[in-house]
C-alpha cells in the first residue's frame, strides 16, 4: 500500500512547531506512560519520539511516507525505522509493550485493519496509547465535518475529519480502558486514551 503526500508532508514538517503549540502538552502527557519496547505507528516528523517517558527501553518508528522517512533518517539516524504501511506492519507478532499513534488514524485507509495490526504487535498485557482527532458528538458539527471531509482529505494528506475512533476501538480486539476529550473543538476535537491487549 503506497503512501505519498509530498506537499502536505513538507508543509507539516515546516509547521510542526505551530502544531505543538496546540497539542504538545497533550502529546507529552499521553506519551509519558510509554514503557518497555515501544512502537510509534505513523511517526511522521518524529514529534512523539522526542517526548517519551523514561521507562521506554527500545524505540521503533513506523512511517511509510517518503518525505517523512527522509526527515526521520536525518533527525533520528540511530532509531530503527520501518517503512511498511500501518495496515500491514512488517514486524513480528507480540513484540511490543507499548504502541503509540498521534493524529494518525484519521489518514489511514482502513482503521479496523490498523487496530488489528496494533493488537498483533502488542504483547499480552501491552498497551496502546493514542491521541487522535475524531468526529464531533454533536450531530450538526458531525455533519459539517462530513461535508468538509472530501475537500480536506484532498489537501491534508488523506486526513478525514469524521472518523468515529471510539466505535472503531470498541469493535476491535483491543480492550478500551480510557477515552477522554483532551481538546474540545467544534471542528477538530482531540481525544486521548489507552487500550490494551488482554490475551
pLDDT tens digits, residue range 135-148?
A: 999 999 999 999 99
Q: For the sheet with 35-41, list strands across it.
A: 80-82, 55-62, 35-41, 96-102, 122-133, 190-196, 175-183
Q: What is the DSSP string of 76-87?
A: -TTSEEE-S-TT
pTM beyond 0.85: the answer is yes
| C-alpha to C-alpha distance for 9 and 171, rounded to whole angstroms | 31
**What letters, b where the CB count within 10 A reaches 16 and e where it falls short, cover 45-73?**
bbbbbebbeeebeebbbbbbbebbbebbe
pLDDT 10s per residue in the chain (199 long)? Answer: 557 777 778 888 888 888 788 899 999 999 999 999 999 999 999 999 999 989 999 999 999 999 999 999 999 999 999 999 999 999 999 999 999 999 999 999 999 999 999 999 999 999 999 999 999 999 999 999 999 999 988 888 889 999 999 999 999 999 999 999 999 887 789 999 999 999 8
Residues 6+ apart with CB under 8 A from 104: 41, 42, 44, 86, 132
The answer to whether residues 86 and 42 touch, using CB atoms and an 8 Å cutoff, is: yes
Domain residue spans of the chain: 6-196
Helices (H), 32-138: 66-75, 111-121
| C-alpha to C-alpha distance for 44 and 61, rounded to whole angstroms | 9
Q: Check if CATH label 3.40.50.150 holds for domain 6-196.
A: yes
Amino acid at each position: 500500500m503506497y503512501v505519498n503526500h509530498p506537499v502536505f508532508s513538507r508543509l507539516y514538517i515546516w509547521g510542526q512547531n505551530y502544531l505543538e503549540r496546540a497539542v504538545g502538552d497533550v502529546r507529552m502527557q499521553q506519551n509519558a506512560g510509554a514503557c518497555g519496547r515501544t512502537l510509534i505507528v505513523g511517526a511522521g516528523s518524529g514529534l512523539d519520539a522526542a517526548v517519551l517517558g523514561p521507562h521506554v527501553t527500545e524505540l521503533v518508528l513506523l512511517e511509510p511516507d517518503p518525505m517523512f522517512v527522509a526527515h526521520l533518517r536525518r533527525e533520528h539516524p540511530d532509531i530503527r525505522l520501518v517503512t511498511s504501511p500501518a495496515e500491514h506492519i512488517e514486524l513480528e507478532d507480540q513484540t511490543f509493550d507499548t504502541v503509540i499513534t498521534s493524529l494518525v488514524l484519521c489518514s489511514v485507509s482502513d482503521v479496523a485493519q490498523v487496530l488489528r495490526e496494533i493488537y498483533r504487535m502488542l504483547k499480552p498485557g501491552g498497551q496502546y496509547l493514542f491521541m487522535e482527532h475524531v468526529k464531533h458528538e454533536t450531530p450538526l458539527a458531525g455533519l459539517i465535518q462530513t461535508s468538509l471531509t472530501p475537500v480536506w482529505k484532498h489537501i491534508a494528506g488523506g486526513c478525514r475529519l469524521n472518523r468515529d475512533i471510539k466505535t472503531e476501538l470498541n469493535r476491535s480486539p483491543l480492550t478500551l480502558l480510557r477515552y477522554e476529550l483532551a481538546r474540545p473543538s467544534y471542528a477538530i476535537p482531540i481525544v486521548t486514551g489507552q487500550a490494551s491487549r488482554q490475551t
